[in-house]
Amino acid sequence: MFKLVEDLFLTDTFLIKGRFEGKHGRLSQALDGWRRGFVPVVDATLVDVRTRERFETPRVSIAWRELILAHELIDTGSDHYRRHLVAERPRVPIRAFVAGRLPLELSGDVAPQAYDHGGLFQRCFILHQPRLRGLELEQHDELRCLAQMSYAIVMRERLSYVYDFSDLLEREANAGDAGRDDLGQGRVA
């Protein structure tokens, strides 16, 4: 039987591929508006991030507190004009460390202070061109999709530390020595 995989969800234990049952539009908006304790995913494939063991189930419910990030494989709620406007907004590089059992580091570009504002209503933010350290993504077919994402929807409450390089970039730009390529690799003192 053919299963449509629209969405990805990463937890400390599993990469879950399937379709978020409560989604009507963009995944980021659906997750931001979700106020229940569990996120239902149908036609789910679960891949253990440590053992690479694979399970399939017609439905799984993921505890919200377990979600680290999500990604929409199939853009069902696209607004091309809005995407163009978002692409023109300024972005700053960050490195973030995930709180939990999985030693995971995320880096990429975000809207300025995206991880720290939004109040009670925005539970996630968008990380553009994400890079993940702490998982061997290229060595397993099921996890490789995490290395190929153009963006990730990151759950704010799962982050323990965030290095924001906006001040450093501003200083380097003023000095004429912007070294943006080094920021996500831990070479900035």
Residues 53 and 134 in one domain: no
**Same domain flag for 101 and 64:** no
Give me the domain span that covers residue 119.
80-184
CA–CA gap between residue 108 and residue 131 (Å, rounded): 6
Q: Are residues 29 and 104 in the same domain?
A: no
Indicate the number of domains in the chain. Answer: 2
Query: What CATH number is given to the structural domain containing 63?
Result: 2.30.30
Confidence of residue 5 (pLDDT cuts 50, 70, 90): confident
What is the reported pLDDT for 4?
66
Reported as a pLDDT band with limits 50, 70 and 90, residue 81 is very low
Query: What are 166-185's pLDDT values in tens digits?
Result: 877 667 666 665 455 555 44
Q: Residue 75 — pLDDT band, cuts 50, 70, 90?
A: low
Domain final position from 53, 72, 91: 72
What integer pLDDT is reported at residue 55 of this predicted model? 93
CA gap 99, 77 in Å, rounded: 30
pLDDT, tens digit (0-9, with 9 covering 90-100), for 123-150 = 889 999 999 998 888 777 888 889 999 9
Shared domain for 68 and 84, answered yes or no, is no
Asked whether residue 189 is assigned to any structural domain, the reply reads no
Same domain, 46 and 101: no
| Same domain membership, residue 94 and residue 136 | yes
Confirm whether 47 is domain-assigned: yes
**pLDDT at 90 > cutoff 80:** yes
Calpha distance 111→91 (Å, rounded)? 5
CATH for 112 = 2.30.30.100
Residues 84 and 61 in one domain: no
Count of helices and strands (H, E) across the chain? 3, 10
| pLDDT at 85 exceeding the cut of 50 | no
DSSP string, 56-70: EEEEEEEEGGG--EE
Residues 39 and 85 placed together within one structural domain of the fold = no
Average pLDDT over residues 149-173: 85
Residue 109 is given by DSSP the state E
Same domain, yes or no: 93 and 34: no
pLDDT in tens, 38-57: 999 999 999 999 899 999 99
- Residues 7, 26 contacting (CB under 8 angstroms): no
Residues 87 and 167 in one domain: yes
Residue 172 is assigned to a structural domain of this protein: yes
When pLDDT is cut at 50, 70 and 90, the band that residue 186 belongs to is very low
- Flag whether pLDDT at 96 surpasses 50: yes
